[in-house]
Amino acid sequence: MSVLTGAGISTDSGIPDFRGPQGVWTKNPSAAANASIDRYLADPGIRRDSWRARLDHPAWQARPNAAHLALVDLERAGLLRALITQNIDELHQRAGSAPELVIELHGTLHRAECVSCDLITPMPEVLARVTAGEEDPPCPRCGGIQKSNTISFGQALKPDVLDAALTAARSCELFLAVGTSLTVHPAAGLCGEALDAGAKLVIMNAEPTPYDPFADRVINEPIGAALPGLVKELIDAAR
Ligand X SMILES: NC(=O)c1ccc[n+]([C@@H]2O[C@H](COP(=O)([O-])OP(=O)(O)OC[C@H]3O[C@@H](n4cnc5c(N)ncnc54)[C@H](O)[C@@H]3O)[C@@H](O)[C@H]2O)c1
Q: Which residue numbers are catalytic?
A: 106
User: Which amino acid is it at 123?
Assistant: M
CB of 141 to ligand X, least distance (A): 27
Q: Residues interacting with Zn ion, by CB under 5 A? A: 114, 116-117, 119, 139, 141-142, 144
Which does residue 53 bind out of Zn ion, ligand X, none, counting CB within 5 to 8 angstroms by kind? none
Complex with ligand X: residue 59 or 72, whichever CB lies closer? 59
Complex with Zn ion: residue 140 or 186, whichever CB lies closer? 140
Complex with Zn ion: residue 135 or 216, whichever CB lies closer? 135
Burial class (CB in 10 A: 0-12, 13-18, 19+), 39: middle
Q: List Cα–Cα distances, 164 to 1, 148, 191, 231, in angstroms.
A: 14, 22, 14, 23
Is 117 annotated in some ligand binding site? yes
User: Which amino acid is it at 82?
Assistant: A
CB of 152 to Zn ion, least distance (A): 17
CB of 118 to Zn ion, least distance (A): 7
Task: Indicate the helix (H) or strand (E) that contains 87.
Answer: none
**Nearest C-alpha neighbor of 231 from the set 93, 89, 68, 99:** 68
Complex with ligand X: residue 139 or 223, whichever CB lies closer? 223
CB of 183 to ligand X, least distance (A): 6
Reduced to 3 states, what is the DSSP secondary structure of residue 200? Answer: strand
Task: Indicate the helix (H) or strand (E) that contains 177.
Answer: strand 174-178
CB atoms within 10 A of CB 120: 12
Q: How far is it, in rounded angstroms, from Cα 54 to Cα 68? A: 23
Which does residue 12 bind out of Zn ion, ligand X, none, counting CB within 5 to 8 angstroms by kind? ligand X
**Nearest C-alpha neighbor of 16 from the set 45, 58, 70, 73:** 58
Q: Residues interacting with ligand X, by CB under 6 A? A: 6-8, 10-12, 15, 17-20, 23, 86-89, 106, 179-181, 183-184, 205-207, 222-224
Which does residue 144 bind out of Zn ion, ligand X, none, counting CB within 5 to 8 angstroms by kind? Zn ion
Which does residue 184 bind out of ligand X, Zn ion, none, counting CB within 5 to 8 angstroms by kind? ligand X
Q: List Cα–Cα distances, 47 to 86, 155, 208, 226, in angstroms.
A: 22, 16, 34, 38
Binding residues for Zn(2+) are 114, 117, 139, 142
Binding residues are 114, 117, 139, 142
